Amino acid sequence: MEYRAIDPATGTPAARAYAADDEAALERKLQRAAAAVPAWRQTTFEARAALLRRAAETLDARRADSARLMAEEMGKPVAQGLAESDKCAWVCRYYADHGAAHLAPEAIATDASTSFVRCDPLGVVLAVMPWNFPFWQVFRFAAPALMAGNVGLLKHASNVPGCAVAIEEVFRAAGLPEGCFQALLIGGARAERLVGDPRIAAATLTGSEPAGMAVAAAAGRALKKVVLELGGSDPFVVFEDADVERAAEVAVTARMINSGQSCIAAKRFLLHSSIAEPFARRMVERVRALRVGDPLDPATEVGPLAREDLLAELNQQVAESLAEGARCLIGGGRLDRPGFFYAPTVLDGVFPGLPVADEETFGPVAALLTFDSDDEAVELANGTPFGLGASLWTGDRARGQRLAEAIEAGSVFINGMVKSDPRLPFGGVKRSGFGRELGREGIREFVNVKTVWVG
């Protein structure tokens, strides 16, 4: 068996194929990972930090190649791929600079002569990662996990095999010891079974709800720690006192980034009825000006969807919503050209019960809903099984902070678009998963928080 990406811009197979790991190859990688644990956990924070900084330097040197690979395997516009590579270098440097402090022993006064809490690595962590941010999703796991003294195994999405291999090569070039980070070219079912292997200490998954439930169930049977970052249907709430012009500008970026294929992209735009019409007008103007095209063109803002089945699913969600009463202001269908291109779309007159309101839409489709009061806005924002992020727009920051308390989400951004930042914890509630990545909380997910008591 082999893995070969399909170029989303053309629909044709990539030139290079990657051999899948058979059972013997997988066993060798597991053995190398387990063998690497004792020495790696004993390395100093200073030594690990130096290697992470070298990984950042390697990313800097290879950023153009990485961006091109992302464009060819999953259709990311190359300009966005360059930014993604830069962000990966940032997270490596962040944990090189701050990881030791995040994990420093903490003295606590008790009846002991000395008592403190220390953080020890767990061992081998299996990461099951998605295709939509094929470098960033991996590095936001790998940088803190490696800095904490864990060993990483990456099971990447099958449509980005080159990205998986390239990431392993970054860490190898940076000088990580053998076995400390390896890519596994295996399918999802084998990865699920792998969670139960006694050499695997914990698992993390970013992806779909079904994949998350499968890995969580496997981890539960084996009594192992798991972190899940799943889907999202983030609300972008614009109140009557907001800067409507600015909110509409940011809204287009928040929805169309990565061709709309982002868990934390704004998907439902909740607009106070008094400003709904000017907001929609400005949003449509900006969407009409977007440059859709070849992801290898630096001027492209919206590329193709990553796979044809994703395009078909999105098209069905839009078609059903239009049939049930939504109105299409712009876009609304597949573009007549080779590849998996979907027209940037704005749907008005959306209400709960429509697919674009109730389901996650993974593509360049914005759904506009209206409200008349703060309570109604909060009810609409929370009226989803997801709880990843939310964006609130108001001229009264105190009002924004008050309403943020009522929003059921892992992140609430006031007068800004939701984004992940190495300095801040990231994750969701409800069906968007559990656990946190990034920040102090993220590096502490895969450690043993150990109490030491001295009489």
Known catalytic membership, residue 328? no
Known catalytic membership, residue 229? yes
CA 73, CA 67: separation in Å to the nearest integer? 10
For residue 156, what are the contacts with CB-CB under 8 A and spacing of at least 6?
129, 131, 134, 138, 163, 164, 167, 183
Domains 2-230+432-454 and 234-421 agree in fold: no
CA 196, CA 392: separation in Å to the nearest integer? 42
- CATH number of 2-230+432-454, picked from 1.20.140.10, 3.40.50.1370, 3.20.20.70, 3.40.605.10: 3.40.605.10
CA 327, CA 198: separation in Å to the nearest integer? 54
Q: Is 423 exposed, middle or buried (0-12, 13-18, 19+ CB in 10 A)?
A: exposed
Among candidate residues 263, 360, 437, 445, the one labeled active-site is: 263
CA 285, CA 287: separation in Å to the nearest integer? 6
Q: What is the chain's pLDDT, residue by residue, as a tens digit (455 residues)?
A: 899 999 999 999 998 999 999 999 999 999 999 999 999 999 999 999 999 999 999 999 999 999 999 999 999 999 999 999 999 999 999 999 999 999 999 999 999 999 999 999 999 999 999 999 999 999 999 999 999 999 999 999 999 999 999 999 999 999 999 999 999 999 999 999 999 999 999 999 999 999 999 999 999 999 999 999 999 999 999 999 999 999 999 999 999 999 999 999 999 999 999 999 999 999 999 999 999 999 999 999 999 999 999 999 999 999 999 999 999 999 999 999 999 999 999 999 999 999 999 999 999 999 999 999 999 999 999 999 999 999 999 999 999 999 999 999 999 999 999 999 999 999 999 999 999 999 999 999 999 999 999 99
Contact 128, 204 (CB under 8 A): yes
Domain spans of the chain, in order of start: 2-230+432-454, 234-421
Which of 146, 126, 129, 150 lies closest to 138, judged by CA? 129
Which of 262, 211, 237 lies closest to 400, judged by CA? 237
234-421 under CATH 3.30.2350.10, yes or no: no
Among candidate residues 73, 168, 192, 229, the one labeled active-site is: 229
Question: What does the buried/exposed string (b/e) look like for 40-60 if buried means 16 or more CB atoms within 10 Å of the residue's CB?
Answer: beeeebeebbebbbbbbbbbe
- φ, ψ dihedrals at 152, nearest 5°: -115, 140
- The type of residue at 435 is G
